[in-house]
Structure 1
Amino acid sequence: GRGKECYNHTGNRRFRITIDMSLQKYAEAETKLQKSLIVMSIVDMFRSNSPLGGGFVRQDRSSGLWYEIGDEAAREKVGQTIRETLVQQDPEKRAKKRIKRALNKARKAQKKPSLLDDSAVSESESSSSSCRPIHPLAKAGPTYTEADEMLAAIPPQLVLESSRDWFKPKAQCESDTS
């Protein structure tokens, strides 16, 4: 649930404390199986310590009633909470995530079609260049320069080589004459 009441519920407070206690072990786990076992142990602990055996509930929006969720949804909740908490506690990961969001925004902006479609381009314009006109007021995400600056802010050991190529501009229209 959301809101102050749910956040301060005893079960949710215990959940956050348990997650905090498991973070180090999860971060040190080397395989996906090890991480899955940590997540499953947390789910099992809450299920066994719950008075009714549930431990993980969700509220039905229409009726307002609470119902128990299955093991798969509980594992997803625990795993997601651990990953989010790890990112929140590590300033480098937070910065990397912020930059990744900006880069994804730039990538999406590059994929958006221009405001003028192909039918608006005259024959003489289309024969002289394969580029489509872009409206001067069209708002895009970060420019390539801004994306490069964001990448430069990431510590080098965190940057994958392939990620440096994400936003390299395609060949300019003028150089496409070959």
Structure 2
Amino acid sequence: MKCTYVSTKGQTDNFIPSSCDIICGKGKDCYDHIGNKWFRHVVSLYTDEYIAAGENKFKKIKVVSDIFNKVQESENNTGFVSKDRRSGEWRAVSVTRAREKIGHELRVIVSRREKKAEKSKKLYHEAQKFRRLYVIQQAIFVELKAKSDMEIALVQDEEMDEVQCTMMEDNVIKEIDDTDLMYMLGLD
């Protein structure tokens, strides 16, 4: 689909932006416009180069120019347009405003990347913290199980001792004859 590119020199009557045009403006309608989605994709392809430019303004300007040229040279005959607030008519924006939009989009993408990297870094540190806590928890469980096993063994030993004592007492009782039993009961 070919888009009608509106130059700054003139425009057609009742112009309506096509799906290929990049709408300069705010709001969900501008953000969700197909041309703006394509534009964000193109800008994202140059983000690494923009970041690599660092503080060098000339390199950043070159990245913006490269993006502007890429958009202008596209097969879709894409243009940067905005709606005039007073008249409500669509107009092509100046090259300066188009470059400002490109620069703004680059900064937005870089900011999102930085936030995502920071969030990823925080999540990594949280995961490391939970791994350390898990290792400590496992060590505590092993120690508690060992203590529990020892306590169970001690209780079993005590129970065994009681059983053995009871058995010994039973044997002693069996050895008592009737006379001794009557004496113990005070019946003699």
Interval of TM-score (by shorter of Structure 1 and Structure 2): 0.3 to 0.5
User: TM-score w.r.t. structure 2 length?
Assistant: 0.44
Structure number with larger C-alpha Rg: 2
- Give the TM-score normalised by the residue count of structure 1: 0.46
Structure with higher RCO (Cα < 8 A, 6+ apart): 2
- Structure with bigger helix share is 2
